[in-house]
Amino acid sequence: MRQLRAFFRFWYDFIVGDDWRVAVGLAIALALSAALAHGGIPAWWFLPLAVVALLAGSVWRSVRPLRADGR
Amino acid sequence: MGTGGVFLVLATFLASAVEMVEALTIVLAVGVTRGWRSALIGAAAATGALALVIAALGPALTLVPIDVLRLVVGALLLVFGLQWLRKAILRASGYKSMHDEDAVFAQERAEAMAAGRVERAGLDWYSFVLAFKGVFLEGMEVAFIVITFGSAQGSIPLAAVGASGAVIIVGTVGALVRTPLGRVPENTMKFAVGVMLTTFGTFWGGEGTGVRWPGGDAAILVILGFVVLSSVGLVRILQAGRARALGLRPQAEPVGTET
């Protein structure tokens, strides 16, 4: 049981990493991109903007506690 | 070899070089402290295991329909790329300490000296396991990048050439100097890898969701420019904010500069 948990922990850490919100955000962004593209709306602009927004959000979440510490 | 091929080799070379430098530090620390035989056998076993992973998963992925493949590959590259890029941005802006191979080497060496000696299968088990884990875990992400990047671009061998080139170069230099490669611009390379993985993840993820990029493959260069500008912009904003908080003038260091 412990080994099974360690196995899933390894793959979770490997793929999702230390910010699960990015993985969830990417899944939502890709779903929205597909919805736009299949809805006949030009969707090329959406994913780059969503990716940079997710990056900025992830960076901000990392920095916020450090700023609170005065670093 | 087209633009995509050049980026493919460059991305797998840089990603592999960065991870290889980190794995080399672990193997060197164990080898110098406890002897080379078990450490080198552990490193060789891990390299063989990684080659098996690529050989097994690579051909399997070619059976997946191309749009599904690009969606999955794009998502994976984006997850990896954004993690690399976030850490690189935090390092470049001073919020995270630069990766220091000399410090890692000193710590690994101290732990290797303190560990007890257990013989298994004629090997110093601590050395074998540490070298195996170091190379395998550092190399696993490279193996995934080779498989995903290579299959989406339609050339796993080309991706393997980029990764193998880095293994050979870093391995040879490491064998010659036998000290951690602290002067390799590791943090800048990580920034570049993060940018490339994010760029290709966006491009292939978009294609997988049905997006038709204006200009076809040329859109990769536009996305690349957008990701670079956005990342550099984030670094500058963070540097300015940090300088304000510390009561200093904003730093004027180029992005990814080693300290």
Contact B201 A51 (CB under 8 A): yes
Q: What per-residue confidence (pLDDT) applies to A69?
A: 65
- Whether B115 maps to a domain, the answer reads yes
What is the residue range of B60's domain? 3-246
Q: What per-residue confidence (pLDDT) applies to B228?
A: 96
Q: A67 at the B interface (CB within 8 A)?
A: yes
Q: What is the ipTM of this complex?
A: 0.90
What's this model's pTM, rounded to 2 decimal places? 0.79
A70 conformational bin, left if phi > 0, alpha if psi -120 to 50, beta if neither: left
pLDDT tens readout for residues A31-46: 999 999 999 888 999 9
CA distance B226 to B228: 6
Q: What per-residue confidence (pLDDT) applies to B206?
A: 94
Task: Show residues of chain A in contact with B79, CB under 8 Å.
Answer: 15-17, 22-23, 26
Q: What per-residue confidence (pLDDT) applies to A17?
A: 81
Work out the number of other CB atoms within 10 angstroms of the CB of residue B142: 25
- Closest chain A residue to B241 measured between Cα atoms? A67
Residue pair B192/B254 in contact (Cβ under 8 Å)? The answer is no
- Whether B254 maps to a domain, the answer reads no
Contact B95 A58 (CB under 8 A): no
CA distance A65 to B32: 39
Of A27, A46, A59, the CB nearest to B86: A59
Tally of residues, chain B? 259
Structural tokens at position B140: 């696993």
CA distance B199 to B222: 9
**Of B164, B190, B221, which Cα lies nearest the Cα of B84?**
B190
* SS3 per-residue string spanning B184-245: CCHHHHHHHHHHHHHHHHHHHHHHHCCCCCCCHHHHHHHHHHHHHHHHHHHHHHHHHHHHHH
Of A44, A59, A62, the CB nearest to B211: A44
- Whether B259 maps to a domain, the answer reads no
Q: What per-residue confidence (pLDDT) applies to B259?
A: 37
* Residue stretches of chain A with pLDDT short of 50: none
Q: What per-residue confidence (pLDDT) applies to B69?
A: 85
Query: Widest CA span of chain A, in angstroms?
Result: 49
Distance from CA of A5 to the nearest CA of B (A): 18
DSSP result, B120-157: ETTEEHHHHHHHHHHHHHHHHHHHHHHHHHHHHHT-HH
List C-alpha distances in Å: A27 to A22, B82, B124, B213: 9, 13, 45, 20
Domain total in chain B:
1
Q: Per-residue pLDDT for chain B (259 aa), expressed as one digit of tens each?
A: 677 778 888 888 988 888 888 888 888 888 888 888 998 999 999 989 988 888 888 777 777 887 888 898 899 889 989 998 999 999 998 888 776 777 778 888 888 777 777 778 778 888 899 899 889 988 888 888 888 888 877 788 888 888 889 888 888 888 887 776 766 677 888 888 899 999 999 999 999 999 999 998 889 899 999 999 999 999 999 998 888 877 765 554 555 444 3
CA distance B234 to B86: 10
Contact B209 A19 (CB under 8 A): no
